Structure 1
Amino acid sequence: MPNLISLSMCETRISNLWTTSAALAKLPSLTELRFQNCLCCKDTGPCPALSVGLADATFQDSAADEGIENSANNLNRYKNSADDYEVELSSYLQRSNFKELSSNPLPNLYGRAKTTSKICDSDEILISERNEDLKDASIRLKKYISHHPSPICFEKHYREYMVVSLPNLEVLDNLPIRRTDRDMAKNVFSKYFEYLPYKRKQKESVISLLQKREMGTSGTYYQNSSKLKHRNPYRNSQPFFSRSLSASKLGSSAWPLLHPMSSFSHIYKDENKRLRPRQFEYHPSNSSLMAFGTLDGEVVVINHENGNIAGYIPSIGATNSVLGLCWLKKFPSKLVSGLDNGRVTLYDINHIPPKVADTYDNSGVTTFFDFEQLTSVHVNSADDQFLASGYSKNVALYDINTGKRLQLFTDMHREPINVAKFAHHSPFMFATSSFDRDVKMWDLRQKPLHPCYTTSSSSGNVMVCFSPDDLYLLVSAVDNEVKQLLAVDGRVHINFDITTTGSAYNYTRSYYMNGRDYIISGSCDEHVIRICCAQTGRRLRDVYLEDGETGKSMSVQSLRGDPFRDFHLSVLAVSMRPKSKSEIIKVNLLASSSHGKECSYGEHIRSSYSLGG
């Protein structure tokens, strides 16, 4: 029989639930674990104080079976038990020469900030967190006093995630894991997390899935003849197997492959100069191309599959940042670029050299009327008009064919309009998002004097975008306020309930991935990319970013889902210390970082997964 393992990881830098649980799952003998500890505990075992005054296990099991309809008397018994517990715990701490912490915010086992002076009533806990059969577990968690916590303890539903992910674990953070704890954890996990993509319940090998495809079966659960009449006719379709393969590959890649793709000093005559990306966009029809603009006003077209430069446009005149980029769909060699000084230009990449030239060919270049303090440009579905918005209350409409500004819509919002986006399928409908907290839908056929509707966020809106089929709007407001709205009338479809930081400058951006199946979200004060199901809001995975050269965290400036590859995305990441550094990093969720050495430019960025770093 293998020796049982106890592990203490208090005060480490660990923060990623997914990679941490995957690493610890390789230790089947791990029975005691802690990332934070009770004040009175020196080792990883169960805390004696947290077992004093609580209902015994026999009563706990019977309460779990009685159900909600017979819980009135049990509730009073639990209240009395909680009162007795509070006295017992205080007495125990005094005997142990410990004092309770002050009302400074501390993490509890749900990953939320709390104060020891504010303990919820047990009946509120029962109503909001679990049913009557989980009273004992809820009381124990609310009474827990944290000490030496690692960052992972502040993650929402941290305890439940670890309990479900490590089924052999018996003690977590000096609290024993009882049957009711496991029941509660399973319910919380199923509500807030997605175990595998597309609601897959269990891991399957790629070989097994391919064998089933060749045999014309979808899974072992169809071998039961009594269930054949309920068979889904789409189970054997190509999307089903594609999604199954993705779920299998993602489930086996706890540490996704990340690599930068913008360190191309060789395009300069001065080899020491480095590109500094500020904005990027995938090509709409060529899966290998991407364009990005830099902080120095350059526009670069790159083959992101092999790292070769397909076109390079140097900055013209004074150095200004490229904040707006948008490809044309019907004329895919053309690209609209907008600088923060208001200069708007249409380029034809067929006329762009791959390197810096002594002379620059201006053929295929169209310059438009300036839009002051520009932050965004976007072309409509007909490729005949585009919008420009920025740090003003106005939006300009341009004609691509003539180069003229058709109209300036004034005072569309009460504060600056950070983003204006056309719908994917209608050349007339567009949405605007503003720091005045409003998102508005407009129709050009109404010469937009009044919006079709207005919907509001609780903080300033950073951006808005349409889902690929135009059924939804994805709205991102300051500090992780991310919502999906019904595009037809602006009603909230899903609130993704991402943890806030309290910063008024934590600008959040979100986009779709895998069509409209998932959303990816990141913020400029955080080094994490969050991936959520767009239909349920459940969290699928978090990806943390670190600079492999310095070990410093890299925050998320912008990000995009790859329109041609499921579970692929790119992120513009910025490291501020010791020096400002920006990289476009490709993220492949289906491949493991253990293959990073095979990638020609994947050596300097890693995901943040080291245990105890």
Structure 2
Amino acid sequence: MINSRNLSQRGLTCQVLNLRSSHFRKLNMVGNFSHLRTLNLDFSSSLCSFREDCFTCMPNLKCLSLCETRIANLWTTNSALSKLPSLVELRFQHCLCCDDTGPHPASSGGKSTDSCQLDSGLCVGAPSPFDGDYFWHMNTEEADIYDEVESTFDDSSDSEVDFTNHCREPNMLEAGCDVIPAWNGLVDLQSEISFGPLPMQDEDESSSSCNSKRISSFVPKRYISCHPSPICYEKHYREYMIASLPSLKVLDNLPIRKIDRERANIIFSQHFEYLPYRRKKKENVVSILHNREIKAGCNHSQNWKRKPLYVSAMSQYSYSRSLSAAKVGSTAWPLLHPLSILGSVLGGENRNFRPRQFEYHPSDSSLMAFGTLDGEVVVINHENGKIVSYIPSLGAMNGVLGLCWLKKYPSKLIAGSDNGSLRLYDIKHISSRNKGIHSGVHSVNFDDFDQLTSVHVNSTNDWFVASGYSKNVALYDIGCGRRLQVFTDMHRGHINVVKFANHSPSIFATSSFDQDVKMWDLRQKPIFPCYTASSTRGNVMVCFSPDDYYLLVSAVDNEVKQLLAADGRLHLNFNIVSTGSSQNYTRSYYMNGRDYIISGSCDENVVRICCAQTGRRLRDISLEGKSLEDNSMFC
């Protein structure tokens, strides 16, 4: 009998390994599986990701099935699958012909079929390695090893390797494509999807109307997909897989023809970036640094000999881009740095903070300030995990919802809480073990702004603005510590975020759940906006690009757009797939200058990185697993 806990370490000599309905979260197989030809992981509902090298021990694996798992990330999945040089058939869902009683004929080892067979849906040839009856045709040494694996069921979702034979009884759709009857209108299709985009439903539609529309739109004319893994919902999933895995011949029971691969390559180039800044091949960080030193040496030598330069030196910005591309290209798995926020404050007392808002320091990249739901403000060095300054709530603040550093005075920041309290702090005079006795000496109080949600300082550090659950925006003078004016009725709904431009001290933008984004100029009396731009859903936030050339607008449920800051015209729509949730609040920011944007939503455990010039997706980063604890943040 084989112990499931060391199965992945020892390996097996069988050619077919059936691990349907297993309970493990992350696949990590490092033993000897060189004889393995077929691996079935269908209905492993806890499986959400792969270890980077989990398939390197399977050089001869040809067929892999992953229906109804939790696999969702295109990038890490493709990176893991690229270690399978012999893979020709891959399945994340069952794809059936509507008028057929079995899988598409191409699933039988990837054999080609003519157009007549495709249209008629005839099932010909040998059974697929994934079909239910296939295991009846195997030799003894290829037998299903379920009965050989020791049953050690583990309810913990954090167990990374747990092979188990606790299989739920498959229904007619699960049992295999060869036993599914012809569609007669009696089969419940609500759990099935098509290859098309998910339809959006209006919130005021009745549930019965939603269900009927969902069923009719999910059933294509020729093919029906059932038991999909979440990765199948990703936009251009099929094209991405075909373009990224050149040896693949069959995907989801459908053959990959030459025209399919050509189309996939075109779509991939339109919607995805292989490497940052359109790099065509991966670069080595050491090589980039070596080339920089060589060119620097050439320049120094030529200057010393007073000869003209013939070597064109790259700018520091170009080297920065090259290094960024090399780092991203080195692995699809991001280096997540868990930041423990269980700090030692108050004379040695340990506090378990509950962060709500955070802002990176404008000049020291190692520092970050975060506000908590308990009204505390903490400045931490996220590189070494040490608390630099701690500001207790003192009973005056509730949850901190607004934070903003002063760029000209980098030791000062403004914090605003949801009860309207506004304060300016100088962290240079506040230690990490501050007991709060004299903290008021190094802070400035401003007039309250009721139900505050956002604060932001202008480029000259003269003023800051505040917004909240109202239609108003308040302007404050930082130097004299008082409120100058309240601009009323600037939107039809409450103003979620207000942001000053990075270089123009009088220009600011507001975003509201009334679906409008407006640009304002303090040099004109802000009764009428410079312009108004609208979204189809409520706007969660807005921010300027570092050079003030663009506005990045984020609306509910992944509606992310880039506008020209000059007049509000649409420059780019990032076309991130929506979830259909009206509570999926989305925020987006610029990164690495204005080269890329990073976007995340509260109902999803993924952040997306897209090119700010083309809109193409560079990478999705999944944030899940046992390392995501309540007292951790990720940088």
Moved more, 486-495 or 99-108: 99-108
**Correspondence for 2:572 among 494, 501, 511:** 494
Contact residue 60 and residue 84 of structure 2 kept, 8 A: no
CA distance in 1, matches of 2:486, 2:217: 53
Q: TM-score, normalised by structure 2?
A: 0.72
Within 2, Cα distance between the matches of 1:278 and 1:284? 19
- Number of the residue aligned with 1:46: 106
The residue type paired with residue 150 of structure 1 is S
Q: Is the 8 A contact 2:544 2:552 kept in 1?
A: yes
> Equivalences for 1:50-61 in 2 at 5 Å?
55=115
**TM-score when scaled to structure 1?**
0.75
Q: What is the distance in 1 between the residues matched to 2:178 and 2:371?
A: 62
In the TM superposition, 1:107-186 aligns within 5 A as 107-109=193-195, 112=198, 117-118=216-217, 143-186=222-265
For residue 425 of structure 1, the aligned residue among 495, 503, 506 is 503
Is contact 2:102–2:180 with CA below 8 Å preserved after alignment?
no
Alpha-carbon contact 2:101-2:182 (below 8 Å) kept: no
Between stretches 354-363 and 36-45, larger displacement belongs to 36-45
CA RMSD of aligned residues (A): 3.1
Per the TM alignment, residue 24 of structure 1 is displaced from its structure 2 partner at its CA by 0.7
Counterpart residue number, 2:541:
463
1:352 maps to 2:430: yes
Match of 1:222 in 2: none
Deviation per CA, 1:131-184, whole angstroms, max 9, x where unpaired? xxxxxxxxxx97331121111111111111111111111111111111111101
8 Å CA contact 1:413, 1:434 repeated in 2? yes
Q: Match for residue 88 of structure 2?
A: 31
Q: In 2, Cα distance between the equivalents of 1:270 and 1:240?
A: 46
Distance (whole Å) between structure 2 residues aligned to residue 429 and residue 272 of structure 1: 43
Contact 2:342 2:350 in 1 (8 A): no
The one-character-per-residue Cα deviations of 1:270-317 (angstroms, maximum 9, x if unpaired) are 856410111111111122211111000000111112111111000121
Is it true that 1:106 corresponds to 2:184 in the alignment? no
Give the secondary structure class of the aligned counterpart of 1:22: helix
Q: Give the corresponding residue for 1:320.
A: 398
Task: Please name the residue that 1:187 is paired with.
Answer: 266
**What is the aligned residue count?**
495
The residue aligned with 1:202 is 281
Structure 1 position 21, deviation (Å): 0.4
Partner Cα separation in structure 2 for residue 495 and residue 294 of structure 1 = 33
CA displacement at 1:358 relative to structure 2: 6.5
Following the alignment from structure 2 to structure 1, what is the Cα–Cα distance between the partners of residues 321 and 105?
42
Aligned partner of 1:204: which letter?
A: E
Alpha-carbon distance between aligned partners in 2 of 1:109 and 1:233, rounded to the nearest angstrom: 52
Seen in structure 2, the aligned counterparts of structure 1 residues 405 and 381 have a Cα distance that, compared at 3 Å, is: same
Paired residues of 1:385 and 1:400 also in contact (CA < 8 A): yes
CA contact (8 A) 1:110 1:160 kept: no
* Residue 88 (structure 1) shift: 9.9
Q: Is the 8 A contact 2:535 2:555 kept in 1?
A: yes
Q: 1:511 to 1:504 in 2, by over 3 A?
A: same
Note the residue ranges of structure 1 that are not aligned, 5 or more in a row. 57-80, 121-140, 218-231, 555-574, 576-580, 587-613
Specify whether residues 427 and 183 from structure 1 end up closer, same or farther in structure 2 by C-alpha distance, changes over 3 A only: same
- Which amino acid is 2:106 matched to? P
How far has the Cα of 1:241 moved from its partner? 2.8
How do 1:91-490 and structure 2 match up within 5 A?
Answer: 97-99=181-183, 102=188, 104=190, 106-109=192-195, 112=198, 117-118=216-217, 143-214=222-293, 216=295, 236-268=314-346, 271=349, 273-317=351-395, 320-357=398-435, 359-490=437-568
Looking at both structures, which has the greater relative contact order when contacts are Cα pairs under 8 Å and sequence separation is at least 6? Answer: 1
Q: 2:78: which partner in 1?
A: 21
Give the AA of the match of 1:28. P
C-alpha change, 1:291 and 1:10, in structure 2 (3 Å) is same
Q: Using the alignment, how far apart are the partners of 2:526 and 2:290 within structure 1?
A: 56
Which amino acid in structure 1 is aligned with residue 562 of structure 2?
Answer: Q
Mark the structure with the bigger radius of gyration.
2
Residue 564 of structure 1 corresponds to none
Percentage of matched positions with identical amino acids = 62
Q: Tell me, in whole angstroms, the C-alpha distance in 2 between the residues paired with 1:338 and 1:375.
A: 8
SS at match of 1:244: helix
The CA distance in 2 between the partners of 1:27 and 1:41, in whole Å, is: 31
1:445 aligns to what SS in structure 2? coil
CA contact (8 A) 1:52 1:85 kept: no
Shift of 1:23: 0.5
The one-letter amino acid paired with 2:81 is L
Alignment-mate amino acid for residue 363 of structure 2: S
Residue of structure 1 aligned with 2:633, choices 584, 587, 608: 584
Secondary structure of the residue aligned to 1:520 is strand
Distance 1:257 1:94 in 2: 44
The equivalent residue for 1:543 is 621
8 Å Cα contact 1:464/1:473 also seen in 2: yes
Return closer, same or farther for 1:206/1:86 CA change in 2, 3 Å cut-off.
Answer: same
Q: Contact 1:268/1:356 (CA < 8 Å) preserved in 2?
A: yes
Cα distance in 1 for residues equivalent to 2:425 and 2:507: 25
* Conserved? CA contact 2:288–2:322, under 8 Å: yes
> Structure 1 residues 538, 104: closer, same or farther in 2, change over 3 A?
same
Q: Distance in 2 between matches of 1:474 and 1:366?
A: 32
Query: Whole-Å Cα distance in 1 between the matches of residues 446 and 361 of structure 2?
Result: 22
Gaps of 5+ in 2: 1-33, 35-58, 125-176, 200-212, 297-309
Q: One-letter code of the match for 2:266?
A: N
SS at 1:185's partner residue?
helix
C-alpha contact (below 8 Å) 1:293/1:322 kept by paired residues: yes
Deviates more, 1:267-276 or 1:13-22: 267-276
8 A Cα contact 1:508 1:521, kept in partner: yes
State how far apart, in whole Å, the 2-side matches of 1:209 and 1:536 are. 26
Instruction: Please state how far the C-alpha of 1:447 moved relative to its aligned partner.
Output: 1.8
